[in-house]
Amino acid sequence: MFEQQRQSPRSVLAAIFRDSDYRAILVELFLLGVASGLVLPFVALWVTSDLHGTTGQAALIYVPAGIVAVVANIGAGIYSDKVGRRRGVILVALLCGGISRIGLAFATDYRVAIVLYALTGFSPFAIVFALLRDTIISRQSSATGDSGAFITTLERTAFSLGWLVGPVLGGFIIEYTGFGGLFLISGALFLLGLLWAFRTLFDQPAISTRTLTPLRKISAHDALVLGLLFIFGLLLFAGDRGRVMFLTLHLIGNLHFSVVQVSWAYFATVVSELLLMPLSGRLADRFGATRVAIAGVTAQAAFFFSLSIASTVWQILMLQVPYAFVVSTSNGIAIVLAQKSMPAEMSAVSTSTYMVSGGLAPILNSALIGTSVVAGSFPRMFDVLGLLASLSLALVLVLAFLGNRRSISSRS
């Protein structure tokens, strides 16, 4: 086995931009970022304003999408690992995302909307990162060297750049065309991503032709790791999804922000992600994904405890900046941690299991917002989300321990 060397950020960047596969994934993630950022921060507001739903219904609309995400994406991950193919799954998910969003543009009934929004749960996101992992493995002896976390977070930054554009554009689109135009543009971007993926994304031959581990041979150790990954993701994404679900309603209903001011709150986070996402990857390559994950989870807990007492525009905006480090952990470094917790040939299953746990986070959040402890209070909900983030710290350590045991066992 060759000796991997850690390369400088400049050499890694140069290698990525010279490589057509890395560039293709970069553009695909940017398109997904714009398309998702246009819609996701405003879905709850759409339910309460255009569909005249309650806060409970606004939270509930995410639940069927979450169930679809768990079933469809884990199933797609298992299939993708078994046959060694990613491209076909990505194309189907993009088509589903585009059609469902265009349908939402014409939905006027809550029951129709909840069915159409459920279809958005089948996302290409996790499989794109499995394809990225395949690409990294196939390039291990090239100029990128031992820089897997840095490359992953750099590619994830493209999604963040899309989110930089999405929420800001979304606020203005709502002001001038309403929510219908918002869904139409988002759906069109998914279809554009479908065309781009069809022309530029390809499976890695060295990965797709190898002998893969069938599902029936998953060991008890692997099953335990997958279960812990799911719980870890559920606790983290309860906060991340809860921020999207409740922050907009809290800012508009309780603090009387305008829609444009809400979009700028999301804008502040994404601008910061452009710096903190690749920085966190570089730190993870140097100090380990576990240590950076611990820092990010701690930051998430601190964010929600602080958000529960923030009351002014500037306090809210200032909190959104360090939240970018939380995103770099839950949507960047934690993906690396999940992939390294399992054998390389199971990267789609491990990535999907972690990522789709966010699909059940709305169920947890919907249950919590109606409890006597929270009683519909957004500040109390933010405190609960901070507590859940605190609980996930122990799981980071357990996952790291099990990952080390697997590595030692495979070497021996």
Residue 145 lies in a domain: yes
Written as one letter, the residue type at 377 is S
Residue 4 lies in a domain: no
Residue 2 lies in a domain: no
CA distance 372 to 411: 51
Per-residue pLDDT of 207-219, as tens digits, reads 555 544 444 466 7
CA distance 247 to 382: 9
Number of domains in the chain: 1
Supply φ then ψ for residue 373, to 5 degrees.
Answer: -65, -45
Residue 59 lies in a domain: yes
Per-residue pLDDT of 66-113, as tens digits, reads 889 888 888 898 888 888 889 999 999 999 999 999 999 999 999 999
pLDDT at 339: 83
Enter the tokens of residue 310: 């923030």
CATH of the domain at 172: 1.20.1250.20
CA distance 127 to 81: 10
Residue 3 lies in a domain: no
Enter the tokens of residue 66: 């979450």
Supply φ then ψ for residue 145, to 5 degrees.
Answer: 55, -145
pLDDT at 246: 86
pLDDT at 3: 38
pLDDT at 34: 93
Residue 272 lies in a domain: yes
By residue range, what is the domain housing residue 277? 9-209+218-411
Residue 386 lies in a domain: yes
Task: State the DSSP code for 203.
Answer: -
Residue 15 lies in a domain: yes
Sign of CA dihedral 166, 168, 171, 177: negative
Enter the tokens of residue 258: 């305008």
Enter the tokens of residue 42: 């405003």
**pLDDT tens by residue, the chain, 412 residues:** 333 455 666 677 777 778 899 999 999 999 999 999 899 888 988 999 999 998 778 878 888 888 898 888 888 988 888 888 899 999 999 999 999 999 999 999 999 999 999 999 898 988 999 899 889 888 765 544 456 788 888 888 888 788 778 877 888 899 889 999 999 999 999 999 999 999 999 998 755 555 444 444 667 878 888 899 999 999 999 998 888 778 888 888 888 888 778 878 877 887 888 788 888 888 888 888 889 999 999 999 999 999 999 988 788 888 988 898 898 888 788 888 888 888 777 888 888 888 878 777 878 887 888 787 787 788 999 999 999 999 998 888 888 877 666 655 555 5
